[in-house]
């Protein structure tokens, strides 16, 4: 399976509930799933999202 990845950095002032909501919205509307979360000492979260790479053309752009 071929995935595309999107790194995301959440600052320390973003609380856990807000982070969960943001990631849920990305998952629901963007097709992303959580691949990795890393909590740094300063409270910053490094998140990696992934989704299956699609080989389809966008509507209206095909020749």
Q: Quick one: pLDDT at residue 4? A: 93
pTM: 0.75
Sheet holding 33-39, edge to edge: 3-10, 45-52, 33-39
Q: Quick one: pLDDT at residue 1? A: 73
What average pLDDT does the structure give for the chain?
A: 87
CA separation for the pair 16, 54 (Å, rounded):
31
* Lowest mean pLDDT across 6-10, 22-26, 47-51: 22-26
- pLDDT score of 46 more than 70: yes
């Amino acid at each position: 399976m071929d995935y595309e990845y999107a790194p995301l950095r959440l600052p320390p002032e973003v609380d856990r509930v807000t982070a969960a909501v943001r990631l849920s919205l990305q998952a629901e509307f963007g097709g992303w799933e959580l691949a990795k979360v890393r909590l740094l000492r300063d409270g910053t979260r490094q998140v990696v999202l992934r989704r299956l790479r699609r080989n389809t053309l966008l509507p209206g752009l095909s020749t």
